Amino acid sequence: MLRKALLAAAASERIRQAVTATPATRAIVARYVAGETSEDAVATARALRSAGLLVTLDYLGEDTADGQRAAATAAQYVHLLGKLAAEGLTEGGAVEVSVKPTALGLLLGGEGGPGPNAVGERIATGHLERIAAAARDAGTTVTVDAEDHRTTAAGLRIATALRARFPGVGSVLQASLRRTEADLRAVAAPGVRVRLCKGAYAEPAAEAVESRHDVDRGYARCLGLLMKGPGYPMVATHDPRLIAITRSLSLARPAGSFEYQMLYGVRPDEQRRLAAEGAQVRVYVPYGGDWYPYLLRRLAERPSNLALFLRSLGSSS
């Protein structure tokens, strides 16, 4: 219930204004978000690299209803990739980028109400192509984030089409969605980068399993398929049980043929511990001014953060 209410609040303009106008929430934002500028993003990537961690950078923003904004987001990624390359951070894919299709215009141009459509898909594909070319030129990769279920098919289609020219383009699958096991089989091909996560969006029961237990079981099942398959698994979770399962499944794989992924600000000690053991660990680092929906998804995952957040809202009013 609480999780659903929080995820609904992510879409409320009134709550958004109250939260973003409150300086006291900044400390909580700072835990999960690297800063507002590309300089902040590069500095954080540099620091994580010197701690032996890999990085994927996400320029915050989603559900854009403005074509110019979608183009500006693509330009921001191209600019960022240039800066990272100039510092040698993209070498060997050590620092890459993660991109949300709805930030690049997937929802633009729909006349039949909200949701993806052919016009938006063409716009988002064009922008992603520019980003993928910039990533290739920088010696690194792009991963296409997964958003709510209305965008799943389009996101997978776009990534699959781009892989013909940019084989490093990665896809993300959400264990909570009922369709994911089939998607996993469809995407499995040698070397294809696939991130498996639990799924952060409120979804209808027809599309997704609801209980945590069922999500975890689905994750474990998909993890088995992914780790036994020919692709490059990117195991995105902070869940100790799933990390332990990954470790045992990894014994049957060549060294360096998969990676763990965790979010900036979540279990940083575990990130460093796994890296010190010799595992490849990539940290997902968001930056930019449009942090509100991202933050609410993080709060929905961790109700104890919510108490802190509400206290800081109260103390500043």
Catalytic site includes residue 145: yes
- C-alpha to C-alpha distance for 57 and 53, rounded to whole angstroms: 13
Q: How far is the CB of 193 from ligand FDA (least distance, A)?
A: 12
Write out the binding residues for ligand FDA, residues 242-261 only, by CB under 6 A. Answer: 261
Rg (CA), the chain: 19
Interface with ligand FDA includes 193 (CB under 6 A)? no
Residues 49, 163, 193, 195: which is the catalytic one? 195
Q: Is 180 in a helix, a strand, or coil?
A: helix
Write out the binding residues for ligand FDA, residues 106-135 only, by CB under 6 A. Answer: none
For CA atoms 148, 150, 155, 160, the dihedral sign is: positive
| 121 neighbors 158 (Cβ within 8 angstroms) | yes
Interface with ligand FDA includes 267 (CB under 6 A)? yes
CB nearer to ligand FDA: give 82 or 250.
250
Could you list the beta-strand ranges (E) of 158-264.
170-174, 193-197, 232-236, 259-263
Q: What is the DSSP code string of 235-276?
A: EE---HHHHHHHHHHHTTS-TTS-EEEEETTSSHHHHHHHHH
Interface with ligand FDA includes 262 (CB under 6 A)? yes
Q: How far is the CB of 111 from ligand FDA (least distance, A)?
A: 27
Q: How far is the CB of 173 from ligand FDA (least distance, A)?
A: 9
Write out the binding residues for ligand FDA, residues 83-102 only, by CB under 6 A. Answer: none
Buried b (16+ CB within 10 A) or exposed e, 269-282: eebeebbeeebbbb
Interface with ligand FDA includes 61 (CB under 6 A)? no
CB nearer to ligand FDA: give 156 or 262.
262
- C-alpha to C-alpha distance for 24 and 234, rounded to whole angstroms: 35
Write out the binding residues for ligand FDA, residues 165-184 only, by CB under 6 A. Answer: 172, 174
Interface with ligand FDA includes 200 (CB under 6 A)? yes
Interface with ligand FDA includes 64 (CB under 6 A)? no
Place of tokens 């998804």: 297
Q: How far is CA 96 from the centre of its chain?
A: 12
Catalytic site includes residue 26: no
| 247 neighbors 221 (Cβ within 8 angstroms) | no
Q: How far is the CB of 53 from ligand FDA (least distance, A)?
A: 12
Interface with ligand FDA includes 201 (CB under 6 A)? yes
Interface with ligand FDA includes 263 (CB under 6 A)? yes
CB nearer to ligand FDA: give 100 or 163.
100
Active site residues: 145, 195
What residues make contact with ligand FDA under the rule CB under 6 A? 145-146, 172, 174, 197-201, 236-239, 261-263, 266-267, 284, 298, 301-302, 305
